[in-house]
Every structure is written in C-alpha cells, then in structure tokens.
A and B are shown apart, each in its own frame.
Chain A
C-alpha cells in the first residue's frame, strides 16, 4: 500500500506539469481554434530563459552575456518570473506577427505555422544549447529530510510546492476568466467570435492576450519541472504529447477537464511503469497516445461535452 501511495505522490509533480501545458493548449484552442503544436517547445525555450537568468556568465551557456548586465545570477523564483514575463511578451508577439496574418478561414495555415514554430524553437535550442544539460534547481526545499511521511510513503515538499504553485496559477487564471471584464471578453470570444466583434469586443487583442497567457503558463510549468529533471533539448517532447492527450479529454476546449486529465495521465503512467514489468516510460507514452486516438475517434468533443464535433466546426 505504501508503495502504491509513493507512486501516486511521485506522479503529482509530473501531473501538475502535464495539467499546466494541457490548460495552456486548451486556452489557445478555445479562443482561437488554433492547435498550438509549438506549446512544448515554447515552454522549453522559456525554461532556458529562466536558466539564463539563474546562471553565472559562462562560455558553455550561450547568451548568458546578454543578461549579465541585469546582475545575474538571480534567485530561482525571480528567474522563473522573468522567464514568464519574457514568454508573455513573446507569446503576444507570435500571435501578432505569425498567427494573426493567417486569418481564421482555414486551419491548415495555422497548423503549418505552429509546426514551423515548433521546428524553429527546436532548431534554435539545439544549435545554441545542445551541450548544456543540467538541473535547474527547485524553487522549493528539496534537501534530505524535506518531506512528510504519510502512510509509509514520502511526500516531498518540492512536489507539494510545484502542485500548489500551478494550482494557484490556474486558480488565478480561472478568476481572471470569471471575475474580470477581460475574462468576460475572453469567454465571449471563445463562444462566438463574430458576435463578439459585433458587440464591440476587440477580438484580436483578446486572442493575443490568450496566447501571451498560455506562453507564460508554459514558462511557469517549464521552470517548475526543471527542478525535477535535467534541462535539455527534447525535454518537453514527452510533456507535450501527454499535455495534448490530457487536453483531448476535454475536447481541447475545456481547461478544467484538461487539468484533471494531466493528473490522470501522470498517475496512470507512474502506476503502469511501476507495476507492469515490460512497460517502460516510452510504452506508457503509447498508452497515452492510444487514449488520445480513442477519444478523438469516439468522443472528439471531450468526455463530458454533449455538443458533437464535426467537420463543419472548423474555425
């Protein structure tokens, strides 16, 4: 029982990150109908930005001299916040420069553009930081003894801190959506873009803020997970797939279901690789993909939604 509990605790941190990315993907898709396939690479880029702010100037790490004037290295929390600000601006710029000019008549150019962004960020990271692999350091205490023992299993402060931070961030996002004028505009745009335009809402600006918020959320997720696994190119590939699978559970349009999906996938992943001998982490990815394919085949609108998704729903 304690082993099962331990595995469940272990999955908490990963689940939080998957949930964060899934919510970011849902956020963009809901407001724009664009499936941002570059979300994972954007988050990885943001993680490297956080690493830059938290590192001593070094010839091994490209661009450290660029942030040297700001008195780096900064504490980890400050670095993550700086990366979130940079990502917020970058997300808004990407929407304005890359996505908006494509229009919203046909989703193919937008899919192509996000794939282009995926390759662009991936190439940039590989060409500049391929040789750099290291742990970023956790913003929470994670030394020996920094844990609670519950039912014979260790629940690390680090894990709880990551989960709590992401839940607070997502809670703030929910508050923004449901308690502010911007949130009201955001919900209106998600519901019907044309009517929102007629009602005087500046749709372009709302969509741009959606992209910016999603990028900042990705930066937070990347910065938090970087304390658990080494920062390296390709680090976010797996997270992106699991995030996409989690978002699919909500039909790509429900941040709440995407959030739950993130934890479900992480728990299943940890339990499967722990209890079934021949299954390693690569195979659990196939399981997640199988769920994704099954959901898309049977209930593309998501597990809880009743509105059917059909070809005419192309944004």
Chain B
C-alpha cells in the first residue's frame, strides 16, 4: 500500500481479523470461566440472537428491505427445532438445522410478495406475520410451554461437571454461531454480497450486468429467514422449552428498532445488537429499575427506551442508524473534513 492510500473502514485487514478473533476468544473464555449460571444463559441467548440479527442486517443493509417479523421467524425456528427433536428423533445438537430449514422455507414464501411491495406495505406484511405466528404456535402447541425432552449433558472429555451443563450449552451454541457468521461474512464480502448491494442500489443496472436480481433477492430474504430460524433453534438449547409468549410481536418490533439503530453492513454489528436486546431487560431488572408505575416507571421501562431509540434513529440518522452515521463521519474525516458533524439534524437542513 502506498503512503497516500487509506484503509476502507469496512475492510477486514489481517490486524483487524486478529483483533476480532482475540476479542471473541476472550469473551468466550471469560464467560466459561468467570460467569454465573444466569449470565452464561444470557450469553448463550445473545450468541443465538446474533444469527437472527445477522439475518436482519442482511435484509435491511444489503437488500434494502425491512422486516417487522424477524422475531416470528425466530419463533418458527424454535418450534420447528423442538418438534424435530421431540417428535422426529433429530439429535438435539442438530436442532438449529431444523430451525434453519423452517425459517428458510417461511422466508422464501414471504419473499415472493415482499420483493415487489413498497416499504410501507412490506412493513404491514411482516408485522402481520409477527402477530399471527404466536397465535398459530399457541393453537398448535396449546397454552402451556412444550419441553424438549432432551438434555445437553457435557461429555466427560470436556472436563465440565454435569451440573454445569449451561457451560456446555453455551459451547454448543457458540460452536454453531461462529462458523455460521464466518460463512455469512465470506458470502457477503464476496461476489454474492456485491451482487446483493448492486441489486439494492440499481436493480435495472444490476440485471443489465447479468445479475439474476429476482432470484438473488429471493435467496437473500429466504437466507435471512433461515438465519432467524437457526437462531430460534439455538434459543431452545439453554431453556429447553418453547412457548408462544416467548415470541410476541413486540420481539420483532424491538429487533427492528435495534437493527436499524445499531446494525450495519458488517456481520459483526449483529453482536452488539443481540447483546442490547437480551441484556437490556436483565440490566433494568438487576438495577431494580423496573418500578411499579408512574413517570419514573415510564422513564425506566423497556418500551419507553425502545420508543426513544426508534424516534432518535428516525430523527437524527434519517433511519440509517447510528453505526452508519459513525462510519460516514469516519470517511468524512479521512477526506479531510475534520469537523464533520456526528448527526445531521434534519429539522434544520436547507430545503
């Protein structure tokens, strides 16, 4: 590289790759050696939901679509995975594959109409799926939780005590998630990812260059659903149950809010998004922030925090997200615009 060249912030240089691998290793080892049972379970959920957010990131940032139904896909994956193990004898460690298949299938079905709909209609379509899925799950499985009827006991060679099976569950989930993220990263950084972006930015031009736009986008939406389904299968691992109230429409709305606010084109942006979704209620609970009612209760409620997040993202970033804005600012500074503002206040822009 010549001295004048700059490094693309999206580029994963060997140094950055080493840093990421090191950070992930530290987190995994830290969870396994230091974390309590509850925190390990939460970390397992974070790892599982990372896949769902990666799928949502693919949908919003690479395909230019939106989904208010990603939580429903997670629910479908969880139910499919649980029944595949419980009723069809699938080995419990392969549970995410059943979730992947179910999510991919539902994603492909939804993809057909969604590719030709404007965004408000698409929002309505996916929101409908988010509302319908918990009702269908309740109708199929009944009002009570359904248990997995299988355990994830650590093998003796691991040296993990049988009573610490949550550590083994964490390892299983991470063992599924990290390779999947790596494959997805390679996919999105390669020709397929570039074709996604080309078909998002200018479908006509992309088609003129020989990209099968429709088939590619169908695959993208289905893959996004598949990743969410896989995440659903993995969420069963630490809790061993599925229940319709675990996948309400509010889960999909929260996922949309977090993905828009913190998501980015990088697959890795899914990790902080998942951490925010899972750990926010834990943090609120731990700090005894959830007070009964009134103004104080409102300011400290999860719904209010998500509302502020959505409104702030809409106003200050015009729906593009804070991660995108930080990236833009970094690019602007590299171009010599040292005082590039962090936010574009739409209210004061010149028309």
Contact = CB atoms under 8 A, between A and B. Distances in A.
Interface in B306-351: 306-311, 313-315, 318-319, 346-347
B319 A286 contact: no
B257 A115 contact: yes
Interface in B112-150: 112-113, 116-121, 123-125, 127-129, 131-132, 135-136, 138-139
B304 interface: yes
B260 A241 contact: no
B166 to A, nearest CB: 32
Given A101-B347, A103-B318, A309 B308 contact: no
Contacts, number: 166
Nearest to B304: A123
Nearest to A111: B123
Given A113-B311, A310-B118, A241 B304 contact: no
A106 B66 CA distance: 12
Given A244-B124, A289-B131, A107 B118 contact: yes
Interface residues of A, number: 56
Contact of B113 (A110, A296, A314): A296
Interface hub of A115, A126, A131 (most chain B Cβ within 10 A): A115
A192 B319 CA distance: 24
A124 B224 CA distance: 33
A98 B311 contact: yes
Interface of A is mostly: helix
Interface residues of B, number: 47
A242 B314 CA distance: 27
B260 A108 contact: yes
A62 interface: yes
A309 B308 CA distance: 32
A169 interface: no
A249 B28 CA distance: 51
Given A108-B119, A109-B313, A112-B256, 17 more contacts: A101-B347, A115-B256, A116-B314, A117-B311, A118-B253, A120-B311, A123-B303, A126-B303, A283-B135, A285-B135, A289-B128, A292-B124, A293-B129, A296-B113, A300-B113, A310-B116, A311-B117
Interface of B: 66, 68, 112-113, 116-121, 123-125, 127-129, 131-132, 135-136, 138-139, 253, 256-257, 260, 293-295, 297-298, 301, 303-304, 306-311, 313-315, 318-319, 346-347
